[in-house]
Amino acid sequence: MKLFFGPHLRYLKKLVPDRGSSSQYFRLFIGKIFKGIDIGEVIYLDCDTLIQSNGIDDLKKFNFKGQLLGACLDPWSKEYRLLLHLEGTTKMLNSGVLVINVIEWKKRKIDTFFEKIIDDRTHFIQGDQGLLDEVINGNFIVLDPKFNAISSYFEMSYRELMIFRKPEYFYGFEDVQKAKRNPIIVHFTSSFINKRPWESFDSTLYGSLWKREYFELFNKKIKIYEQHYSIFQKTFDLLPRRLSISLLGFIQCTLRPIKLYLCEKRKKA
C-alpha cells in the first residue's frame, strides 16, 4: 500500500505542537493520505498507548451510523469549549484513539475544513485535538472509555477527576470504574501526579508493562528522558491532596484557558 504525503505537508510549518512531534497533525489529513486507496475505516492510536487485550477487535467493521468517527470523551470544562467556539455542553473528544470513517471523510472533504482554518490562523489551541473538536463539533460516536483509559482514571478517584477537570459532558462513575478494571487500551496522558513510562518520576500503573513490551519489541531498554520536578508536582506533594487537586483544578480549568485566550488574542493583533 502506497500512502500519499503530498501538499498537506506545507501546513505542518504552521502547526507547531505544544509537545511531541508535528506528525500528530497527520490524522487531520486522512483523506489525502489515503487518496486513491480503497479503504473503509482506520483505527488510529497515539504512540503513548498500550493495547491490553484483543477487545480492540470490537472496533473492526465499526457502525459509524453516518458519523465521521468514533472516539472517547475527554473531560474538558466549559471554558475550553468557549475557546474552541463550541456550545457549552458539546461533546469533546480525546484524539488518542480514533476510529475514522475514511469513506465519509473523503466524501465530505473534511481535509479542506482543516486547511481553511490553518490558512486563516497562526495560533492553534490544544494541537490536533483542538482542531478536531472544532471541526467535528461533537458529531461523533462515543466509544466506551475502556478503549481509551487515560492516566487520570488510575491516578484519581472519579470525584477528584470531576473536581480537577470540571467536565461539562462526560462518562458516569460506573463507566469509568469498568474501564479502570478492564481497560482495552491504556493511554499514558500526562498530569501533575505522574509522568509517562519513558520519563523520569514515572510510577504509572501500566508503565512497567509498557517498558517490558518495548524491550520485547526492540530488544533494548527504553531511554528515560529526564524531567524536572514541576511546580505542580511540588504543590501536589506539599499540600493536602484534596486542597491541591482543587487548587490545581482552578489553574487547569480557569487560569489556563484565560492564558490561552490572551495568547490567541495577542497573536491575532
pLDDT in tens, 25-74: 889 999 988 988 899 999 999 989 999 988 999 998 899 999 999 999 99
Res 14: pLDDT: 74
What is the reported pLDDT for 184?
97
Q: Which segments in the chain show pLDDT lower than 70?
A: 1-9, 17-20, 267-269
Backbone phi, then psi, for 84, in 5-degree steps? Answer: -100, 10
pLDDT at site 22: 76
pTM above threshold 0.75: yes
Helices 110-120, 127-136: inter-axial angle, 10-degree rounding? 120
| Alpha-carbon separation of residue 22 from 17, 33, 125, 126, 183 (angstroms) | 6, 15, 14, 13, 28
pLDDT computed for residue 195 by the predictor = 82
Q: What does DSSP say about strands 41-45 and 93-101: parallel, antiparallel, or unpaired?
A: antiparallel
